[in-house]
Structure 1
Amino acid sequence: MDGRTLVGMVGRVVHALRGGDRPGEVRVVVDGIAHYYLAYASTPVPAGTEVLIINNRGARQVDVEPWPIVTGGEGTR
Structure 2
Amino acid sequence: MTSESLVGRTGSVVTAIRGGVRPGEVRIVVAGIAHYYLAYAATALPAGTDVLVINNRGARQVDVEPWPTVPLGDCPGGVVEGQ
Superposition TM-score tier, normalisation by shorter sequence: over 0.9
Identity of aligned residues (%): 68
How many pairs align? 77
Do the aligned partners of residues 76 and 46 (structure 1) sit closer, same or farther apart at CA in structure 2, a change above 3 Å counting? farther
Alignment of 1:1-77 (within 5 A): 1-71=1-71, 72=74, 73-74=76-77, 75-76=79-80
Q: Which TM-score applies when normalising by structure 2?
A: 0.87
Residue 4 of structure 1 deviates from its aligned partner by 1.6
Partner amino acid, structure 1, of 2:6: L
State the distance in 1 between where 2:10 and 2:70 align. Answer: 14
Task: Choose 1 or 2 for highest CA Rg.
Answer: 2
Summarize deviations over 1:14-46 as a string: whole Å, max 9, x none: 000000000000000011100000000000001
List runs of 5+ in structure 2 lacking aligned partners.
Answer: none
Structure 1: 4+ residue segments shifted above 2 A? none
Give the helix-richer structure, 1 or 2.
2
Q: Distance in 1 between matches of 2:20 and 2:45?
A: 11
Q: CA–CA distance in 2 between the matches of 1:51 and 1:14?
A: 11
